[in-house]
Amino acid sequence: MRMTKHTAVLQVLICILLISLNGYSQEHPNLILTKDGVQKIRAELGNAPLFDATLAKVKAEVDAEIALGIETPIPKDYSGGYTHERHKRNFLILQKAGVLYQILNDEKYALYIKDMLFQYEGMYKDLPVHPQTRSYARGKLFWQCLNDSNWLVYVSQAYDCVYNYLTKKERKQLEKNLFRPFADYISIENPQFYNRVHNHSTWGNAAVGMIGLVMNDEELIHRALYGIEDDGLPIGAKDNDGGFIKVEGQEVGFLANVNEPFSPEGYYTEGPYYQRYAMYPFLIFAEALHNVKPDVKIFEYKDSVLLKSVEVLIKLSDADGEFFPLNDAQKGMSYKSREVVTALDIAYHYGGHNPELLSIAEEQGQVLLDDSGLAVALGIRDGKAKKFQKKSINLTDGAKGNEGGVGILRYGNEDMTLVYKYAAQGLSHGHYDKLSFSLYEKGTEILQDYGLARFVNIEQKGGGNYLKENTTWAKQTIAHNTLVQNETSHFGGKYEVGSKHHSELYFFDDSNPEVQIVSAKETNAYPGTEMQRTMALIKTDGFEKPFLLDILKVVSKTENQYDLPFYFKGQVMQTNFDFTTPKTLEAWGSANGYQHLWTEGIGSPKEDNTKLSWLENGHFYTLTTTSSKDDDLRFVRIGANDPEFNLRRDAGLVIRRKNTQNTTFVSVIESHGNYSPVSEFSVNSNSAISKIELMSDTNEYTSVLIETKSNGEQLVLVVANINKQKDKEHTITINGKEYRWTGPYKFIKVK
């Protein structure tokens, strides 16, 4: 037996051993559906509108598939291709058919499952490894073990639903020829896939665990929870996304995958897009463990982190419910996805019936067809739903919550949202951007994070897989709204280096809704250079809406060239500087993402402040930033060296400051006014700021001033750069005027 350092893990282990020694026999279904639960569901049919509606939809979908007949083609394609999509559809339908069989007690669903399972059984025995070779862990039904694991997670549920419908002999045949070898293939035969801390492994662990629970196979259950003891993998091996497979001292298995990537509050280090993806195996296997092995107390594990993480995931979305695209993330993914339906229903049911989750379930418009989904539907029916309040929040990263984090500042009813990333690398799906940010007005991106370069499951685009532009563009620092030094990415774009570091929170304060502020420091991205970025969301008189104040202080041991991009979306309205637009467009650079940027215009500051206004989605926006006279101001357009049109033609303005050692960029982004193409009224189309100024900037203190046009009011923010103690008193004199305050910063209306 393998000993661990963690008492919690040990306790779980002992429980399982005790249970398995008892050797009690199981009734079915008991995995996701339970015998009691099914009785309760049947009793409520017709009385829980959202459940009934989901059931009707699922029934129509499955009936249509049954009418089409069963197809289990020989595996051939990448994702997006026919065989991939067919097998994917099969496992989704099998799971649903199982549920229908239990709830509706109609044998046709059981028969359909049985027939398809035996078709798979007949095929799997002799199936070679999938012919497509791109994956570091090729599957059999699919091009990668990951998708094979998806299959088994879903099909285990179907198997559980028809377990008692099948004869003992039939079960034996399926388990011997299909399920057991399937589970072994994705685990023992592919430890480089199975034995990691990674969303891939979470799927693999859950798959092995769930079929183990149905088969009552303690060996598989143990392998699911704790991984493979002796995997023979070399330390430092990498997958085809460049992620580490094995790190020295790495714990593995499902529990390790709960322990490591989640911070104590429930932030998942890969970011919300992959958290969403992983939530399904995390929560569905947890529900199964809860049902079959209640003594594991999985929902209480690591201070209930799995339940917490569901609410965190929802908080990581914009006003339309779309996830912030931190790290690799396909834009448009939202909490309406099927994975989050599952996670949310389970979190509601097993997490204390938080009524705010019900309003999200209403938006999702569907529920799980199990006990938890019924609970949600009944809660909604009984009018218990409350609006989910997305407030400002600071989320730590890292298993212990000490590896940086993500700060989210929200004003009003998500009227304006800042997403500020000072996190850890985020495993192999991480991007090289520290102290970067994106800004939203409701569900509209104002300053964007590019997201990933991939068209998930669209076969025409590189088999639906990551495109090379994901590495050459999307992951690079210049693709993000943060500082680039000497045209190189943070950590030299090296995963090994980036994985060792994270930024540090300096302070976060959302106690005053009119002046919310977050500050963080990064000292490792460029050795010898220290960056501190302080961002504040401020609403005050003279401004129609809150504005974002951005102070980026750079202190270096050497002279460097600094680039600070702002990827605005929309149409340029006005600048206060002159620029020329070249007759021919050339790529700005040759590496680190610069090779993908066309230079569309180039100019230099005319005044102490540089201004750019643009119009997007019926709103006007203005960036005002302090300038040095030698700055270059460059309009860029994404899309150079993009031979297959994989990139969007989005725009940015990059401020370049050359031959500079220490400098501080001060910028304000305002949203103001509106324009409607129907009324053709243009309202409040100008910035409210007459000037911004870096008033003083020392090692210890940085102070900035914002002056408004309407009433000449002066707003000052002073930041103590070294001592952040809340009770520390500060006194400084700026331009002959003394400022006194307590704590790491002070916002003052001077006039």
480 is catalytic: no
Which x/- pattern over 405-444 shows residues binding a copy of itself (rule: CB under 8 A)? Answer: ----------------------------------------
Query: Of the residues 28, 130, 429, 619, which is catalytic?
Result: 429
Backbone angles phi, psi at 611, to 5 degrees: -125, 140
Q: Locate tokens 């399937």: which residue? A: 182
Say how far residue 158 (Cα) sits from the centre of its chain.
29
Query: Which of 256-264, 475-483, 672-680, 743-751 is the region at the interface with a copy of itself (rule: CB under 8 A)?
Result: 672-680
Which x/- pattern over 564-583 shows residues binding a copy of itself (rule: CB under 8 A)? Answer: -------xxxx-----xx-x
- Antiparallel, parallel or unpaired: β 571-575 and 663-672: unpaired
Q: Return the structure tokens found at 69.
A: 């007949």
Q: Give, to the nearest 10 degrees, the angle between helix 301-315 and helix 7-22.
A: 110
Quick one: which of 150, 195, 257, 334 contacts a copy of itself (CB under 8 A)? 334
Query: Which of 93-101, 388-396, 442-450, 644-652 is the region at the interface with a copy of itself (rule: CB under 8 A)?
Result: 644-652
Quick one: which of 678, 727, 731, 736 contacts a copy of itself (CB under 8 A)? 678
681 binds a copy of itself (CB under 8 A): yes
Which x/- pattern over 585-604 shows residues binding a copy of itself (rule: CB under 8 A)? Answer: xxx----------x-xx---
Residue among 386, 393, 428 at smallest CA distance from 317: 393
Quick one: which of 442, 461, 539, 545 contacts a copy of itself (CB under 8 A)? 461
Q: Going along 640-736, which residue ranges are E strands?
A: 651-660, 663-672, 674-675, 682-683, 689-697, 701-708, 714-720, 729-734
Q: Using alpha carbons only, what angle is made at residue 478 by residues 476 and 484, rounded to the nearest 5 degrees?
A: 110
Quick one: which of 72, 250, 304, 330 contacts a copy of itself (CB under 8 A)? 330
694 binds a copy of itself (CB under 8 A): no
Q: Which is nearer to a copy of itself, 39 or 682 (CB)?
A: 682
Min. distance of Cβ 300 from a copy of itself in angstroms? 31
Q: Which is nearer to a copy of itself, 274 or 350 (CB)?
A: 274
648 binds a copy of itself (CB under 8 A): yes
Min. distance of Cβ 704 from a copy of itself in angstroms? 26
56-63 CB contacts, 8 Å cutoff, 24+ apart = 57/366, 58/96, 58/99, 58/100, 58/369, 59/100, 59/104, 61/93, 61/96, 62/93, 62/96, 62/97, 62/100, 62/109, 62/112
457 binds a copy of itself (CB under 8 A): yes
Quick one: which of 131, 236, 294, 332 contacts a copy of itself (CB under 8 A)? 332
Q: Which is nearer to a copy of itself, 676 or 699 (CB)?
A: 676
271 binds a copy of itself (CB under 8 A): no
Q: Euclidean distance between the first and final Cα of the chain, in Å?
A: 71
Query: Which of 159-167, 300-308, 416-424, 675-683 is the region at the interface with a copy of itself (rule: CB under 8 A)?
Result: 675-683
80 binds a copy of itself (CB under 8 A): yes
Q: Which is nearer to a copy of itself, 47 or 82 (CB)?
A: 82
Backbone angles phi, psi at 478, to 5 degrees: -65, -15
192 binds a copy of itself (CB under 8 A): no
Quick one: which of 491, 635, 739, 745 contacts a copy of itself (CB under 8 A)? 635
468 binds a copy of itself (CB under 8 A): no
Q: Positive or negative, the Cα torsion across 80, 199, 307, 3?
A: positive
Say how far residue 127 (Cα) sits from the centre of its chain.
35
DSSP 8-state class, residue 595: G
Query: Which of 289-297, 458-466, 477-485, 547-555 is the region at the interface with a copy of itself (rule: CB under 8 A)?
Result: 458-466
Q: Which is nearer to a copy of itself, 320 or 693 (CB)?
A: 320
Q: Which is nearer to a copy of itself, 515 or 636 (CB)?
A: 636
CB 582 within 8 A of CB 750: no
Element (H, E) at 225: helix 218-226
Quick one: which of 401, 675, 691, 732 contacts a copy of itself (CB under 8 A)? 675
Distance CA(9)–CA(81), nearest Å, equals 41
Query: How many other CB atoms are there within 10 angstroms of residue 701's CB atom?
Result: 18
Largest CA distance in the chain: 91
Min. distance of Cβ 196 from a copy of itself in angstroms? 23
500 binds a copy of itself (CB under 8 A): no
Q: Which is nearer to a copy of itself, 237 or 587 (CB)?
A: 587
Query: Of the residues 112, 185, 274, 562, which is catalytic?
Result: 274
Element (H, E) at 291: helix 272-292
Distance CA(490)–CA(503), nearest Å, equals 12
User: CA–CA distance from 172 to each of 108, 155, 179, 707, 727 (Å)?
Assistant: 22, 16, 10, 78, 69
State which of positions 365-404 bind a copy of itself (CB under 8 A). none
SS3 343: helix
User: CA–CA distance from 95 to each of 334, 368, 424 (Å)?
Assistant: 23, 11, 36
Min. distance of Cβ 583 from a copy of itself in angstroms? 7
Distance CA(287)–CA(153), nearest Å, equals 12
Q: Mind spelling out the 3-state secondary structure of 345-406?
A: HHHHHHCCCCHHHHHHHHHHCCCCCCHHHHHHHHHHHCCCCCCCCCCCEEEECCCCCCCCEE
Query: Which of 214-222, 248-256, 558-566, 639-647 is the region at the interface with a copy of itself (rule: CB under 8 A)?
Result: 639-647
Q: Which is nearer to a copy of itself, 13 or 647 (CB)?
A: 647
Q: Which is nearer to a copy of itself, 366 or 556 (CB)?
A: 366
Min. distance of Cβ 474 from a copy of itself in angstroms? 15
Q: Which is nearer to a copy of itself, 108 or 461 (CB)?
A: 461
Min. distance of Cβ 202 from a copy of itself in angstroms? 18
Quick one: which of 38, 103, 214, 333 contacts a copy of itself (CB under 8 A)? 333
711 binds a copy of itself (CB under 8 A): no
User: CA–CA distance from 323 to each of 319, 327, 334, 700, 707 (Å)?
Assistant: 10, 11, 5, 37, 35
69 binds a copy of itself (CB under 8 A): no
274 is catalytic: yes
Residue among 442, 464, 325 at smallest CA distance from 390: 442
Distance CA(570)–CA(590), nearest Å, equals 27
Q: Positive or negative, the Cα torsion across 651, 497, 552, 588?
A: negative
90 binds a copy of itself (CB under 8 A): no
Q: Which is nearer to a copy of itself, 188 or 587 (CB)?
A: 587
Q: Which is nearer to a copy of itself, 294 or 582 (CB)?
A: 582
Quick one: which of 42, 125, 386, 649 contacts a copy of itself (CB under 8 A)? 649
Count of residues in contact with a copy of itself, rule CB under 8 A: 54
User: CA–CA distance from 303 to each of 265, 280, 421, 586, 673 (Å)?
Assistant: 9, 19, 25, 54, 46
Positions annotated as catalytic residues are 274, 429
Residues that bind a copy of itself (CB under 8 A): 80, 85, 330-334, 336-338, 455-461, 464, 571-574, 580-581, 583-587, 598, 600-601, 613, 615, 635, 637, 639, 641-645, 648-649, 651, 675-682, 685
